[in-house]
Amino acid sequence: MQKIKLFLIVIIGVFLINTMPAMAARPLRTEDAWTIQPGHFAFEASYMFWKDDNGGKYSEYRGTIQAGLMEKLDLGIEVPYRNVHPSGSDLQDDIADGLIIAKWRLFNETDETPAFTLRFDYKPHNGDEKTGFGTGRNSYSLTGVMSRSNGPVAYHFNLGGAYRGFIENLDETDYRTAVFYSFAVEYYASKEISVEGELLGENIFGRDGPDTYTAALGAKFAINEGTVLDVSVLRAITSNAPDNIYSAGITIYF
């Protein structure tokens, strides 16, 4: 918890500077406070690839659709399709657990304060638990999101908690509660191009060892007003995270 307090002190200072509308999300994991306008939609398609320490190869395709329901409320559905190829084993592929996302923007950004949004995630256990593509339980998370801008630079801070549903007959290593936090910075070099970076941390209650820390760098390229391409690489800071995760995607607004 001391690490989280120090992290918060640094972030609070950043959010006390000037303003303009802010964005984030793809290709980063840090969420932004922006919501889809009523009657409009955003479609995201992405691909991720990573390896484990034993030479196993993993990849995942994701499709996400978000719809603006009200002025400050949107709803999204995400469906992942995963390829798993552990070292010395056959390739397996299947649909993994999906995700239902709701974002409610409580406060708009002003000259004095950042925008603030709550995001609620519900992950049903639709994936096949026997093959490892599903968790066999429902999961829930709630995230507070702050976004603030200063000229061509935008800042985003997330702090949230997650709970995984209980499964009978699992031992004490079945950790179900976690706190996660992240901070992202975006720099808009032009109207079409932006570069960004983020730091992410997760504390799983009751687990021995350090918090899990990762860092990511990414870039976005706007083809036109409604289409954005992105690339990123996520790098492990602590040993309990994948070494590198490579990602590319496209977002279409309509």
| pLDDT in the model for residue 174 | 56
238 pLDDT band (50/70/90 cuts)? confident
Q: What is the pLDDT of residues 122-135, one digit of tens each?
A: 988 766 655 556 66
What are the residue boundaries of the structural domains of the chain, listed by start? 2-201
Model confidence at 91: pLDDT above 50: yes
Mean pLDDT for the chain overall: 84
Rounded CA-CA distance 238/207 in Å is: 15
What is the mean predicted confidence (pLDDT) over 118-147?
Answer: 80
Q: What is the residue-wise DSSP string for 180-238?
A: EEEEEEEEESSSSEEEEEEEEEEEETT-SSPPEEEEEEEEEEEEETTEEEEEEEEEESS
The more confidently predicted of residues 3 and 194 is: 194
Model confidence at 197: pLDDT above 90: yes
The proportion of the chain whose per-residue pLDDT surpasses 90, expressed as a percent, equals 55
CATH for 2-201?
Answer: 2.40.160
CB 152 within 8 A of CB 126: no
**Sign of the Cα pseudo-torsion (208, 202, 216, 251, in order):** positive
Rounded to the nearest 5 percent, the helix, strand and coil shares of the chain are 5, 55, 40
What is the mean predicted confidence (pLDDT) over 101-109?
Answer: 97
| pLDDT in the model for residue 117 | 98
The proportion of the chain whose per-residue pLDDT surpasses 70, expressed as a percent, equals 81
Rounded CA-CA distance 76/97 in Å is: 15
| pLDDT in the model for residue 228 | 96
| pLDDT in the model for residue 11 | 45
What is the mean predicted confidence (pLDDT) over 32-57?
Answer: 91
